Amino acid sequence: MGELSDRDDYEYSTSEDDAEYSWIGWFCSRKGHEFLCEVDREFVEDNFNLYGLRALVPHYNEALDMILDIERMEETPTDDRQAKIESSAEYLYGLIHGRYVLTSAGLNSVLEKYYNAEYGRCPRVFCKDQPVLPAAVSDVPHEEAVKVYCPSCEDMYSTRSRLDGAFFTTSLPHLLMLQYPDIRPPKPTERYIPRIYGYRIHKPKK
């Protein structure tokens, strides 16, 4: 479900002057959430984009209100209920994020992060610091944490991120390459050759 939030770090506000302190901006700026893009508010407000998520997320209405910085005139929830709502808001945002990054606007946000190497660089020596993209090995939530995909060697690597892979989907890096074919790097032509004292090691004959 990603990392749980620190409840005391955020003060809600709905004024236009404090727009830069929105829940979405705060959540994406937290340490460990560098892979996340800020989903456009209009996307979150469109019920079509949220179809089917209500059945997956506990406290759906309250979680959605939290994401959109909407305060309703109701009783203050208990600490336990508040913690559950915050956890649900983080999970719901992640699922929304997984849909948003596959849109034109979302792909542009991912592309910008890719250009800035915000997802990291390929650890493979012969990929020569090639920037990587977020990817998943499963679209099912809670199965695997997000991985990174190198478009040069076309392999996947683990990361330190604890974010759910479903927040990025298995399709993201490949859809981005289809949308922007010019950014696909050439495949590396070099590969590591094991040697001992400078001599190439030959596999024993069977």
Three-state SS for 127-195 is: HCCCECEEECCCCCCCCCECEEEECCCCEEEECCCCCEHHHCCCCHHHHHHHHCHHHCCCCCCCCCCCE
Give the model's pLDDT for residue 206. Answer: 67
Give the model's pLDDT for residue 80. Answer: 87
**Tens digits of residue pLDDT in 25-83:** 999 999 999 999 999 999 999 999 999 999 999 999 999 999 999 987 677 778 888 99
Most confident of 8-12, 17-21, 30-34: 30-34
pLDDT tops 90 at residue 150: yes
Confidence band of 8 (pLDDT split at 50, 70, 90): very low
Q: Per-residue pLDDT averaged across 79-101, rounded?
A: 95
Q: Which residues pair with 145 in a beta bridge?
A: 164
* Whole-angstrom distance, CA of residue 146 vs CA of residue 160: 9
Give the model's pLDDT for residue 45. Answer: 97
Question: For the chain, what is the mean pLDDT?
Answer: 89
* Whole-angstrom distance, CA of residue 155 vs CA of residue 147: 10
pLDDT tops 80 at residue 194: yes
What pTM was computed for the model? 0.84
The answer to whether the beta carbons of residues 119 and 134 sit under 8 Å apart is yes
Residue whose token pair is 């959109």:
68
